[in-house]
Structure formats: C-alpha cells, structure tokens
Amino acid sequence: MSGSAERRGAPDERVRLPVGRAEWLTQTFGHWPYRPEDVRGLLPRELAVDAYDGTAWVSLTPFVMTRVRPPGRPGALLSRTRLSRLLTFPETNLRTYVRGPGGRDGLWFLDIEAGSAATPAARAAVGAPYHWADLSVTCHGGVVGYAGSRRGGGPSYRLAARPGDPLAPTALVHYSPGMRQVRFGVPRLHRGYSGRAARSRPHPGAGAA
C-alpha cells in the first residue's frame, strides 16, 4: 500500500530568500477522495477546489521536522548543540489541494498538529492552524508507525505504513524517507477565515516549500 513519491518538474516559484531551513524525514502521505462540494465548504471564497478527474482529495501527512534553523545557521554546528533536541519534533498536516484566483495551485491546511512547545508561537506568527499535540513516530520490523492526539482533548489518530519498492504515482498511500534541503519563504496567507493558511504546493524533488 505504499511507494516512493516520484520526482517531477520544478515548482511554480522557488524560494530565493529563505527565512528558515529544516529537514522533513520519515514522511507518509495518505490520500482520501471526497466530493468537491464537500471540500468547497471548508475553503474561503477566493480559493477553488483543485479536483483530479472530478474528485477532491484530502491528505494526512505525518513526518518528523528536524534541524529547524535560520537560513544562515550552519547545520553541522547546530547538530552538536543541545538546541537541536528542541528543534526536532513530529508534525502531522491535514490538507487539501486548491487553486487561487489566478489558477495557481497550492495547499490549504485544515489542521497542523506539532509536537513542539513552540507551536503557539508558530500559530501566532504564521497564522496557520497549529495545535500542540502528543505525537510519536516509530520504526520497527520494516513498519513505520505514527500516532497522535491533541493536548487538552480533541482529534487523535494511528497510522502504520510498510514502505515498499518505488512505484509509479497511483491512488495508493505514498512514503518518502524525507527531504534534506527544505527552505521556508515568507508565507502567502489568506486571512479572515478561521486563521488557516494557504501556501504554494511544496514539491518532493525541489527541496523548497
């Protein structure tokens, strides 16, 4: 039920002046089909559902965020400091695929669960729907396990994936060992709708988001 994401072409826009860097590791992408009209009610008026063959898709993406740092901070130096432990944590995104007024594709984050004490600050700074959660990522016997529950009660989940050989893109679950060169630019936000954020779609082969 799993395979590697295929490298495709370059994204619409590259991050030329990053405000931060990180690595995304041990990523699994689970996709569920929905009727476009059901997803449409979750979006602001400025955005349209990016449907594929008439179907909208919602994705659950758990992974490990690590080596989060300013753009000029040497990664090798950071890895030897105690601060590196605070900057490594699990994260889970619940998102759907949208198009803006000009037709540009992007992601709309319905929910972001993060296992970091800095989550409230990230929510305030970026405007995205960050929630502090108890998350775990385990690897045993070829199976990658993910579990999470929001602090204070609320949504929870469990997911297990057994990564296999690389596959061509299909409606299967997908798995990636991660991206080593992630760069964060200034986010483009649609404010005024439940504090959620839309941003350009990251690309597995581009090393930028």
Residues 24-66 pLDDT 10s: 899 999 999 999 999 999 999 999 999 999 999 999 999 998 8
Residues 93-124 pLDDT 10s: 999 999 988 888 888 999 999 988 777 776 66
Assigned token pair, 153? 């009660």
Locus of tokens 């649609």:
190
Predicted structure pTM score: 0.70
Q: Are strands 105-114 and 174-184 parallel, antiparallel or unpaired?
A: unpaired
- Name which of 87, 110, 88 is nearest 97 in CA terms: 110
Contacts of 147-154 with CB under 8 Å at 24 or more apart are 148/62, 148/90, 148/92, 148/113, 148/115, 150/113
List of E strands, 35-88: 48-49, 56-69
